[in-house]
Amino acid sequence: MSALSAVTDFTAASGGAKSSIATSNEESGDRFLKLLVTQLKNQDPMNPMDNAQLTTQMAQINTVAGIEKLNNSVSAMSDKLSTQLGALNLSAGMDKLEATLQKMSGQFLQAQTLQGAGMVGRQVWTSGNALAVEAGKGLGAFELAGPADAVTVELLSPAGHVVGQVDLGAQASGRRAFQWPVPEGMNPAGMSFRVNARSGADVIRANSQSADRVHAVTAGPEGLVLQLSRSGPTPVTNIKAWS
């Protein structure tokens, strides 16, 4: 039996499968030398191992060691290459995702602009208590935080004086609109309104809303902006209601 075969048999007998036990080159070399010395000591004196056989076995063990070293080097290079390729793929994926998001953002903005074109001329409502006047009628709205037994709307002059009142009676919670006929000869410019709502002795909070008209629509970095007749540029997110 050759020393290389003995090493192989020894490894197999010890359960040294490559998948379960990793053997270093130095350990393999030590075992080979020990077995080779044992073989030389116990060889038949009448039929000793010739130099060719010894050289062949040494070449075999060096070949096995060299192949193992080469496999380790290739494995290390493969792991490094996989890491680098993974980083490249991640970078390329992020660039592709960013390009896709930018494209989607542009398409969404275009869709918003087209949709906004249909808003031109429509009446909208924003937070505020300025009285809008159209066709001789003062317009306003409010949102009640809860049900009220009695709701009245006071119309105020630019100086803050009460010049009119609308009695709406009992109202449920939610949004309500009102109209007030402007008296003949009165200039309603700069007028405002104030909502009084009560439930028994409790005051019910009422958030006032002013009417306005959309006369143009633009698209900005933060989204759609409505050009309102009285309030000027207003983000679409500030619109409370449409009429």
Across the range 119-137, mean pLDDT stands at: 92
Question: Closest Cα partner for 170 from 146, 147, 196?
Answer: 147
> Can you list the domains of the chain with their CATH numbers?
3-84 (no CATH), 127-210 (2.60.40.4070)
pLDDT band at 205 (very low <50, low <70, confident <90, very high): very high
**Better pLDDT: 169 or 86:** 169
pLDDT band at 21 (very low <50, low <70, confident <90, very high): very low
pLDDT band at 119 (very low <50, low <70, confident <90, very high): confident
pLDDT in tens, 71-115: 666 667 767 766 766 665 656 666 776 777 666 666 656 666 666
Q: What percent of the chain has pLDDT over 70?
A: 55
